[in-house]
Structure 1
Amino acid sequence: MPPADIKASTAPVDADTRLAPGRPGHRRMSFALFAAGVAAFALLYSTQALLPAISAGLGVTASAASWTVSGATGALAVCVLPLSALSERFGRRTMMTASLAVAVAVGLLVPFAPNLEWLIALRAVQGAALAGLPASAMAYLAEEVRPQALIATIGLFVAGNSIGGMSGRIVTGWAAQLWGWRAALAAVGLLSLVCAVVFRLLLPRARHFTPGTLNPRALARTVRTHLADPLLGRLYGIGALFMTVFGAVYTVIGYRLVEEPFSLPQGLIGSIFLVYLVGTVSSAAAGRLVGRVGRRGALYLAGATTTAGLLLSLADTLGAVLLGLVLITAGFFAGHAVASSSVSRTAKTGRAQASALYQSAYYLGSSAGGTLGAMAFHAAGWTGTVLLGLLAVAGVAGITLYGTHSARTAERRLLLASAARH
């Protein structure tokens, strides 16, 4: 008989040291990235709920004021890929920390912008700084979390985004009503400072990161490889189109609610963003939804939910508009969680670049949605904004249908090839 200690040593051991629910460090990591998501979205969209007040305070049009949002998201879209390359060299944790630190510092300067031009410039710098966070976070999760827990964990990070977007808008709405839009931006800066400190204190050190070298040619090859991948290309398009809808709706909704027949004060308009809580739930539940209906099924449901919300929001009753926003928000966050997690699972190498390309497409969609949504509102009112959103959702449906058709065609070819061999 072998000794007891030798017998015990042959018991199965879980060799996978990556994080998963119930394992040490997973809860700390989840809270840390949740806090980072709160800070990032609160800062990135800090002016969105304030656009009517900024228009009035600086004497500018809705389209001009919308650049305080589009400038930040556009700069993020442009800078996310080069900063993701730096994360491959210096580490995900380092890049996320630096990004939040710079963005918070600029956020504390934004309230003192003397005019619209300075405000847009500072917001662009802030967006560029934040570019180091999202792709690095996705790559960190893909490396440090077990695959079966990845969608749920990314969903929690996205949920932090929704909480940040919601809290930032609510804080700015009421602060602007009480003390003006500049004080509102200062409040968001302080809130984000607290979240950044929590993030840095809680996030575990990376255990599965291998530093790479800064090789522009290798980076270009990796980017070309990702862009040539049909599935990744479809996911990038889906993320951009979903965000076009979301950016258009939430950039313009404040202007609609401040006008007749609603005539809501700034504080109540900010509180409308409580519907972001729906996004928290839908993004966190995306993993279960995929388990039941598959990824494409989840995208179809997200698109249908968003479409229903857009149509319902055309009504001139506050209850219908609110319900429409709930459906739009639920559909968007579910679709975003499914698409972004699919990118992390699909890319086998260069995950930071794959996530960066998704984030770039996503925030270009946000920038385009904000600007085009404001232009459509100026030209045709809320109906114009809704039509823009419906076109974008139709694009999501078209891409998903094409993906379904391609997958079925590939399956038939495999079956025919298998039959021919036998």
Structure 2
Amino acid sequence: MSTTLSPNDLHPTASTLMTRGEVRYRRTNIALFLAGFATFSLLYCVQPLLPVFSQAFHVAPASSALSLSLATGALAISILCAAALSERAGRRELMFASMCASAVLNMAAALAPNWSTMLALRTLEGFVLGGVPAVAMTYLSEEVNPKQLGHAMGLYVSGTALGGMLGRVGTGILTEYMSWRPALAVMGACGLAASIAFVTLLPPSRNFTRRVGLGARHHFAAWGTHLRNPALPFIYMIGFTVMGAFVTVFNYAGYRLIEPPYNLNQTALGLIFSVYVFGVMSSSIAGGLADRIGRRAVLPVGIGSLIVGVGLTLFAPLWLVFLGITFVTMGFFTAHAVASGWVGQFARVDRGHATSLYLLSYYMGSSLCGSVGGWCWSAGGWPGVAAFVLGLLAIGLVCAARLARLGR
């Protein structure tokens, strides 16, 4: 079997790599910022609607959370397929097709006549969305000078943070005044507009060539190589734990805050997600700090912030709950920006496969932990949710300590 080696398996020349100050570097950052924005606004726009779905479709909180968990689970699986497909179809083309298809499916979900149809559409939407996260980080690791990769990755993660914030906040506010169906349709239209701007701005790859003749054996061998790497499995587990913790907090905070003594309405609940603006800032700052002082110094700070934030949410005053959610948001985006950027440093070949395994772990954390959190909520209320999340973060902190030793 013959294959054509991709330049990312060799060593791109300095002249083909983007550096800060170049026009194509700026265009790339804007385009991938939009990709992150569209992906996360579409994926998570249902999160503030979970209590609404419980009422509209007469389902329990854990069942309502399936509208998000099934989407993220399908996305996790599709990432493996998309990473392999991108070796033949191209990075830019696959991301654009994924963004367009997911936007259309989000608009279709607004018309869902029953809960089964809603779950089917959301699952399919999550599956087609896999083409963006599976490829975006690989594109950056191939095209950007390693000295500026932390900064570029931080900006991409900032786009995901802003998308997650506006998707949640916008959906919550629109639902208060229009109902949830028009809210989902509007988010789909915004995603479609972002996809058009994305494909207009993103420069073609210079350090990628299409690879033909790659069978299943090649892909499984590449994934196996990365799983045997002494460092990468710890990075994957960090992605699983921090994403699982983050999604669980946001999934069930809404159920807590619509009950006494808070009694928040849908607009106020949506505005709680405005804390994502701190995620936008922290991910960009964390990426820059990782370039300057090292990832092993920054990563524990992110996980520690998550732990502090969860602890603060256990107190009753609303301002402390809000502060805790802010710390959770900052800590999550700090940890994710650092960990995701680290994958490309440890993976010397087949980086797309290494990235796909990180994202598989990341979104499986969202899907599995987000669902388990519903059982914790039903069994123990918010203290039960917090205990589950703190257990996840303890595992993440152990993995970060192990990575720090390997990094030396």
TM range (shorter): over 0.9
Q: 2:14 touches 2:145 (CA, 8 Å); kept in 1?
A: no
Deviates further, 289-298 or 29-38 = 289-298
Aligned to 1:255, the other structure's residue is in SS state helix
Q: 2:148 touches 2:291 (CA, 8 Å); kept in 1?
A: no
1:250 aligns with 2:269: no
Counterpart amino acid of residue 389 in structure 1:
V
How far apart, in 2, do the equivalents of 1:308 and 1:134 lie?
28
How far off is 1:365 after superposition? 0.3
1:110 aligns with 2:109: yes
Q: 1:246 touches 1:369 (CA, 8 Å); kept in 2?
A: no
How far apart, in 1, do the equivalents of 2:37 and 2:358 lie?
20
Q: Counterpart of 1:153?
A: 152
Counterpart amino acid of residue 128 in structure 2:
A
Q: Counterpart of 1:120?
A: 119
How far apart, in 2, do the equivalents of 1:60 and 1:197 lie?
36
Q: Counterpart of 2:9?
A: none
Q: Counterpart of 2:56?
A: 57
Q: Counterpart of 2:272?
A: 272
Deviates further, 34-43 or 176-185 = 176-185
Unpaired stretches in structure 1, ≥5 consecutive residues: 1-13, 409-422
1:189-338 alignment runs, 5 A limit: 189-213=188-212, 214-291=214-291, 293-338=293-338
Counterpart amino acid of residue 226 in structure 2:
H
Cα offsets for 1:128-176 (capped at 9, x unmatched): 0011111211111111111011111011111000000000111110111
1:60-209 alignment runs, 5 A limit: 60-209=59-208
Cα offsets for 1:293-327 (capped at 9, x unmatched): 53222121111111110000111111001100110
Q: 2:153 touches 2:287 (CA, 8 Å); kept in 1?
A: no
How far off is 1:187 after superposition? 1.5
Cα offsets for 1:24-57 (capped at 9, x unmatched): 2111111111111110001111211110111111
How far apart, in 1, do the equivalents of 2:332 and 2:157 lie?
11
How far apart, in 2, do the equivalents of 1:291 and 1:18 lie?
17
Q: Judging changes above 3 Å, is the alpha-carbon distance between structure 1 residues 344 and 407 closer, same or farther for their aligned structure 2 residues?
A: closer
Q: 1:244 touches 1:367 (CA, 8 Å); kept in 2?
A: yes
Cα offsets for 1:114-136 (capped at 9, x unmatched): 11111111001000001111121
How far apart, in 2, do the equivalents of 1:105 and 1:184 lie?
14
Q: 1:171 touches 1:187 (CA, 8 Å); kept in 2?
A: no
Cα offsets for 1:61-82 (capped at 9, x unmatched): 1010000000000000111011
Counterpart amino acid of residue 138 in structure 2:
A
Structure whose CA Rg is larger: 1
Q: 1:159 touches 1:281 (CA, 8 Å); kept in 2?
A: yes
How far off is 1:369 after superposition? 2.1
How far apart, in 1, do the equivalents of 2:267 and 2:160 lie?
21
How far apart, in 2, do the equivalents of 1:313 and 1:362 lie?
23
How far off is 1:17 after superposition? 2.4
How far apart, in 1, do the equivalents of 2:401 and 2:38 lie?
36
How far apart, in 2, do the equivalents of 1:400 and 1:177 lie?
41
How far apart, in 1, do the equivalents of 2:337 and 2:407 lie?
21
Counterpart amino acid of residue 21 in structure 1:
R
Aligned to 1:16, the other structure's residue is in SS state helix
How far off is 1:343 after superposition? 0.3
Q: Counterpart of 1:347?
A: 347
Aligned to 2:51, the other structure's residue is in SS state helix
Aligned to 2:28, the other structure's residue is in SS state helix
Q: 2:169 touches 2:271 (CA, 8 Å); kept in 1?
A: yes
Q: 1:173 touches 1:267 (CA, 8 Å); kept in 2?
A: yes
Q: 2:154 touches 2:288 (CA, 8 Å); kept in 1?
A: no
Cα offsets for 1:315-349 (capped at 9, x unmatched): 11110011001100000000000000000221111
Q: 2:151 touches 2:291 (CA, 8 Å); kept in 1?
A: no
Q: Judging changes above 3 Å, is the alpha-carbon distance between structure 1 residues 15 and 359 closer, same or farther for their aligned structure 2 residues?
A: closer
Counterpart amino acid of residue 322 in structure 1:
F
Q: Counterpart of 1:397?
A: 397
Q: Judging changes above 3 Å, is the alpha-carbon distance between structure 1 residues 355 and 407 closer, same or farther for their aligned structure 2 residues?
A: closer
Q: Judging changes above 3 Å, is the alpha-carbon distance between structure 1 residues 15 and 290 closer, same or farther for their aligned structure 2 residues?
A: closer
Counterpart amino acid of residue 30 in structure 1:
N
Q: Judging changes above 3 Å, is the alpha-carbon distance between structure 1 residues 20 and 198 closer, same or farther for their aligned structure 2 residues?
A: same
How far off is 1:240 after superposition? 0.5
How far apart, in 2, do the equivalents of 1:308 and 1:46 lie?
26
Q: 2:150 touches 2:291 (CA, 8 Å); kept in 1?
A: no
- Sequence identity, in percent? 40
Q: Counterpart of 2:365?
A: 365
How far apart, in 2, do the equivalents of 1:72 and 1:357 lie?
17
How far apart, in 1, do the equivalents of 2:129 and 2:187 lie?
15
Report the aligned-residue RMSD: 1.3
